[in-house]
Amino acid sequence: MDLPGLGDSTGNPSSYTKQTLATYTHLLLDKIGYRQHVQVVAHDFGVGVAYSLAAQYRTQASGLFLMDFPLVGKNLKFATIQPLEWHFSFNLQKPLAEQLVTGKVSQFLTYFYPTQSHVAQPVPTDEVNEYVRVYSRPQVLHAGFELYRTWTQDEADNARLEATPLTIPVRLLTQDGFAPLLLSAVQDAAPAATGTDVKGAGHWLLDEAPQQVLTEVNNFYPAH
């Protein structure tokens, strides 16, 4: 699904906190009849939305399969992760980030994707072209940056939600070498969560290791 404000969605969310976006997601799932037993798979900021969905609406999700995202909260702080990647700080600069990237979305994304990978072209050209198309919409470019600008509020919201741990199954995949840091943060929210990194892969797990991701998802949510 396109999160509110992203992709080909329309309208402007009242906030880009993951708690707010989770409420939109909850209402959409309710509207289309998925009120419980939802098998959630999420990547990047979708992980923040997925966690908030499961933590706020506890009968809706039957499990969380999560990929490569620092779930800030009780112990992992945004101040700890902000220095780890250049774009965490760049994207906070409002409205400068929008002003610098507007009209240069292709150059920005073509540069950005390899910086989060171990290979020269981790995201296929047809996918890059699609992302350029949607992020060339001013609303979407702004929304993409806004996801980062609420991270300190997300931290506070998650710390509050973590007071009641999740009991549903939770599995985390991360890029190579990041499992110890990211899994411990997820276990603050779901103490029984398991996880592993994908050897040789960067952030773009769906593009860099699709077969391993598919195998992991199928093992986590076996067909009945």
Summarize pLDDT for 8-30 with one digit per residue, the tens: 998 889 999 999 999 999 999 99
pLDDT of residue 10: 86
Residue carrying structure tokens 């593009």: 207
Specify whether the CB–CB gap between 170 and 180 falls below 8 A: no
With 0-12 / 13-18 / 19 or more C-beta atoms within 10 angstroms meaning exposed / middle / buried, residue 49 is buried
Q: Which two tokens stand for residue 117?
A: 């990978």
Question: Average pLDDT, stretch 42-70?
Answer: 98
Q: Which two tokens stand for residue 170?
A: 């939770």
3-class secondary-structure state, position 36: coil
pLDDT of residue 168: 98
Evaluate if residue 110 carries a pLDDT over 90.
yes
Query: Taking all residues of the chain, what is their mean pLDDT, rounded to a whole number?
Result: 96
Band of residue 223 on the pLDDT scale cut at 50, 70, 90: confident
% of the chain with per-residue pLDDT over 70: 100
In single-letter form, the type of residue at position 131 comes to: Y
pLDDT of residue 12: 87
Evaluate if residue 130 carries a pLDDT over 90.
yes
Those residues whose C-beta lies under 8 Å from the C-beta of residue 156, and which sit 6 or more positions away, are none
Q: Which two tokens stand for residue 37?
A: 């037993």
Cα–Cα dist 97/105, whole Å: 11
Evaluate if residue 63 carries a pLDDT over 90.
yes
Summarize pLDDT for 188-216 with one digit per residue, the tens: 999 999 999 999 999 999 999 999 999 99
pLDDT of residue 33: 97
Band of residue 182 on the pLDDT scale cut at 50, 70, 90: very high
Evaluate if residue 224 carries a pLDDT over 90.
no
Phi, psi (5° rounding) for residue 222? -65, 145
Summarize pLDDT for 68-81 with one digit per residue, the tens: 999 999 999 999 99
Cα–Cα dist 107/202, whole Å: 20
Phi, psi (5° rounding) for residue 211? -70, -40
pLDDT of residue 11: 81
pTM above 0.75?
Answer: yes
Q: Which two tokens stand for residue 216?
A: 């992991």
Summarize pLDDT for 86-101 with one digit per residue, the tens: 999 999 999 999 999 9
